[in-house]
């Protein structure tokens, strides 16, 4: 038990004036007697004991004292449970990822509805001097309400949270909470989620975490993977992977549509926790219009957002590859590749699919694949020293995209730079590079990868090595071409996911208009590289993008196995072997002042009733 306002204990001091006023109010009745001789001793005893005897016999006074003490105690705001002053501020983290839209049964509340109701109960339990903040998170976290004790503002913020068709990232939400703690300290955070989160979180908790699971979801089935590969005859093979949750059992009709026309369908029977693959074969027509794959379950489906997925196919064309003039000796190797055109230009064009250059200044953000020869990335320049030593390749990363089937045994490198003696491969990894070719003097090729681009750096001059005279060199360049074809979508395509749309090519500095599936429209300006990036896609559906006179339709799909499977994680593993277990509802404070105030009212009513029943009580 605790008190929010213990300073109001001074109200108990009012007991003294109440008792004093009671004695000053005593009235002595007048009675005529014949003599005081027989009464003198009795009167003497009465003067000493009568006030205290009257005090013991006065029910009215006791009721008044009880009412006053109860009111004073209520003013001190007593409570049971909770954590007292440790919850002066409490952030409430609400999961709004795709699985929070799941329902246990048709027409029932969603998991997000249950989380909102629980969050409002926590806000409603705030005591005097306590504040709460609300953070909503899916793949990214955002604060929707600052710390405040205004219940109406907090309720409005909670009501405004909607489901986002994205997987959840609880670490991002906890990082935001940790950032809030730097300015407005607190000791405890409440996490409301359906438990559809990764079991491991690479985060060191700087506060206590109350992890609450909200209502279970029902049976679910959905698409978790969608991709296509170009066939030998120019058509496409579309691969769809369907997953059922532990509670789902029934048939599902999978449909493939090109534009608005359904071109193929297949019925599959799904059992609990089963994964099924469906293959559709498409001839030619997919090169003109985007594809849409949808599911029609014949049983209850808890979450409809994973029942549709989108895929955009690229028409067949030649790969556009640019080679720097100083490396023209490499061009014949590339020109021999089928479906490749080598662009002749002093600088790389913005629409090139891949570049090969010896100058870092030829970097283009819109180019997805680049190989830099005899060049060291600026971030890693301090790790190398110039020298004229001979090196021998000792190992290479055989799983690297450029090194498949490449044999570099006995390749010698003459008179090249090497890594400083005090440096190691770990220093390159810290900077975001992977050493894919290593020599006796350190890395000879570095790889840098990002979701929208791939970069390789040969830190030596191939002409000063035996590599061009080996079969390894043309194979490496063939791998470069194939990687560029894959990145350009010429060999296959992968269904676009929700979160952020892939970069779109526009005109530098020119605005474009984006229309979301909900009908909301906003404008985005292309960067100096001519790319339109960072378009948010929080809902499954088609996003129409108008760039000048060109209209594009880009689909965004959920495609997340964890969200579709409806798995509930009850225990999250954090750093330093710390485990947080979902253990019922967060213990909140139970205020006692309403009950004390009610008892004070009862005492006052009893005192009034008893006073009215006394002889002479009515005037």
Task: Mention every residue, 6+ apart, whose C-beta is less than 8 A from residue 325.
Answer: 346
Helix (H) or strand (E) holding 90: strand 89-95
95-146 pLDDT, tens digit per residue, is 999 999 999 988 899 999 999 999 999 998 887 778 999 999 999 999 999 9
Residue 369 pLDDT exceeds 80? yes
Q: 74: closest CA among 603, 588, 586, 587?
A: 603
> What mean pLDDT is predicted for residues 559-569?
92
Q: For 26-39, give the secondary structure using H, E and C.
A: CCCCCCCCCCCCCC
Q: Is residue 385 very low, low, confident or very high in pLDDT (cuts 50, 70, 90)?
A: confident
Q: Is 71 exposed, middle or buried (0-12, 13-18, 19+ CB in 10 A)?
A: buried
Least confident of 162-171, 314-323, 380-389: 380-389
Cα–Cα distances (Å) from 423 to 386, 392, 427, 512, in that order, read: 14, 18, 6, 47
Residue 459 pLDDT exceeds 80? yes
Residue 557: per-residue pLDDT: 95
Residue 85: per-residue pLDDT: 42
Residue 312: per-residue pLDDT: 87
> What mean pLDDT is predicted for residues 540-562?
91
> What mean pLDDT is predicted for residues 150-159?
95
Residue 201 pLDDT exceeds 50? yes
Residue 526, Cβ neighbours under 10 Å: how many? 20
Q: DSSP character for 175?
A: H
Q: Is residue 590 very low, low, confident or very high in pLDDT (cuts 50, 70, 90)?
A: low
- Spelled out in words, what is the top-level CATH class assigned to the domain 221-315+558-565? mainly beta
Cα–Cα distances (Å) from 238 to 168, 216, 483, 493, in that order, read: 28, 34, 20, 9
Residue 619: per-residue pLDDT: 41
User: CA-CA distance, 487 to 509, in Å (whole number)?
Assistant: 25
Least confident of 488-492, 510-514, 602-606: 602-606
26-74 pLDDT, tens digit per residue, is 555 667 766 666 566 655 555 555 554 555 556 666 777 777 777 776 6
Residue 322: per-residue pLDDT: 94
CB 513 within 8 A of CB 529: no
Residue 455: per-residue pLDDT: 95
Helix (H, G, I), strand (E, B) or coil at 50: helix
Residue 350 pLDDT exceeds 50? yes
CB 125 within 8 A of CB 113: no
Query: What share of the chain has pLDDT > 70, as a percent?
Result: 83
Within 13 A of 585's CA, how many CA atoms are on the CB side? 13
Residue 27: per-residue pLDDT: 56
> What mean pLDDT is predicted for residues 7-33?
66
Question: Cα–Cα–Cα angle for 587, 589, 593, nearest 5°?
Answer: 160
Look over the chain and give the mean of its residue pLDDT values, rounded to a whole number.
Answer: 84
Residue 506 pLDDT exceeds 60? yes
Residue 164: per-residue pLDDT: 95
Residue 618 pLDDT exceeds 60? no
User: CA-CA distance, 144 to 154, in Å (whole number)?
Assistant: 9
CB 569 within 8 A of CB 197: yes
Residue 421: per-residue pLDDT: 78
Q: Is residue 25 very low, low, confident or very high in pLDDT (cuts 50, 70, 90)?
A: low
What's the whole-model pTM score? 0.74
Instruction: Look at the domain 89-217+566-588 and name its fold.
Output: Rossmann fold (3.40.50)
Q: 582: closest CA among 188, 99, 214?
A: 214
Residue 586: per-residue pLDDT: 54
> What mean pLDDT is predicted for residues 435-448?
90
User: CA-CA distance, 336 to 474, in Å (whole number)?
Assistant: 10
User: CA-CA distance, 471 to 15, in Å (whole number)?
Assistant: 102
Assigned token pair, 50: 């009568």
**Domain at 319-489, CATH from 3.40.50.880, 3.40.50.300, 1.25.40.10, 3.30.70.1350:** 3.40.50.880
Least confident of 84-88, 476-480, 489-493: 84-88
**DSSP readout, 283-316?**
-SGGGTS-EEEEEEESS--S-GGGSEEEE-PPPP
Residue 84 pLDDT exceeds 60? no
Starting at the edge strand that comes first in sequence, how are the strands of the sheet with 308-311 ordered?
261-270, 250-258, 291-297, 308-311
């Amino acid at each position: 038990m605790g008190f929010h306002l213990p300073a109001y204990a001074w109200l108990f001091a009012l007991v003294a004036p109440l008792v004093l006023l009671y004695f000053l109010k005593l009235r002595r009745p007048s009675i005529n007697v014949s003599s005081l001789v027989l009464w003198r001793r009795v009167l003497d005893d009465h003067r000493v004991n009568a006030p205290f005897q009257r005090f013991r016999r006065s029910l009215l006074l006791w009721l008044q004292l009880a009412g006053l003490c109860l009111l004073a105690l209520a003013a001190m705001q007593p409570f049971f449970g909770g954590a007292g002053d440790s919850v002066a501020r409490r952030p409430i983290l609400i999961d709004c990822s795709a699985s929070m839209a799941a329902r246990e049964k048709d027409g029932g509340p969603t998991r997000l509805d249950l989380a909102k109701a629980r969050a409002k109960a926590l806000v409603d339990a705030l005591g005097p001097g306590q504040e709460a903040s609300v953070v909503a998170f899916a793949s990214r976290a955002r604060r929707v309400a600052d710390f405040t004790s205004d219940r109406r503002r907090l309720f409005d913020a909670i009501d405004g949270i909607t489901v986002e068709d994205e997987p959840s990232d609880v670490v991002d939400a906890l990082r935001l909470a940790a950032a809030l703690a730097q300015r407005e300290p607190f000791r405890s955070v409440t996490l409301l989620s359906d438990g559809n989160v990764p079991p491991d979180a690479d985060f060191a908790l700087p506060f206590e975490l109350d992890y609450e699971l909200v209502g279970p979801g029902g049976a679910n089935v959905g698409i978790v993977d969608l991709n296509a590969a170009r066939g030998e005859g120019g058509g496409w093979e579309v691969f769809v992977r369907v997953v059922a949750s532990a509670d789902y059992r029934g048939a599902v009709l999978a449909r493939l549509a090109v534009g608005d026309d359904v071109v193929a369908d297949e019925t599959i029977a799904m059992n609990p926790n089963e994964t099924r693959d469906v293959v559709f074969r498409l001839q030619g027509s997919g090169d003109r219009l985007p594809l849409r794959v949808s599911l029609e379950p014949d049983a209850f489906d808890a979450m409809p957002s994973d029942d549709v997925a989108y895929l955009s196919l690229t028409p067949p064309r030649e790969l556009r590859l640019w080679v720097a003039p100083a490396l023209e000796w490499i061009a014949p190797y590339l020109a021999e590749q089928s479906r490749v055109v080598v662009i002749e230009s002093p600088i790389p064009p913005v629409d090139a699919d891949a570049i090969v250059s010896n100058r870092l200044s030829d970097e283009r953000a819109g180019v997805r694949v680049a190989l830099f020869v005899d060049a060291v990335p600026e971030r890693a320049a301090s790790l190398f020293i110039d020298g004229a030593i001979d090196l021998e390749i000792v190992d290479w990363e055989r799983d690297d995209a450029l090194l498949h089937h490449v044999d570099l045994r006995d390749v010698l490198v003459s008179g090249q730079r090497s890594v400083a003696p005090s440096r190691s491969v770990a220093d390159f990894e810290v900077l975001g590079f992977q050493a894919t070719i290593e020599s006796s003097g350190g890395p000879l090729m570095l790889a840098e990868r990002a979701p929208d681009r791939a970069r390789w750096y040969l830190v030596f001059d191939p002409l000063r090595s035996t590599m061009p005279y080996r079969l390894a060199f043309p194979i490496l360049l063939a791998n470069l071409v194939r990687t560029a074809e894959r990145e350009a979508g010429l060999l296959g395509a992968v269904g676009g996911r929700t979160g952020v749309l892939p970069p779109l090519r526009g005109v530098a500095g020119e605005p474009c208009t984006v229309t979301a599936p909900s009908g909301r429209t906003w404008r985005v300006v292309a960067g100096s590289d001519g790319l339109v990036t960072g378009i948010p896609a929080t809902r499954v559906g088609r996003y129409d993008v108008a760039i000048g006179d060109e209209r594009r339709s880009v689909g965004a799909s959920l495609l997340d196995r964890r969200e579709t499977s409806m798995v509930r994680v009850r225990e999250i593993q954090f750093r330093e072997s710390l485990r947080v277990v979902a253990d019922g509802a967060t213990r909140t404070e139970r205020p006692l002042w309403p009950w004390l105030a009610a008892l004070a009212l009862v005492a006052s009513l009893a005192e009034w009733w008893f006073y009215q029943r006394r002889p002479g009580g009515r005037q």
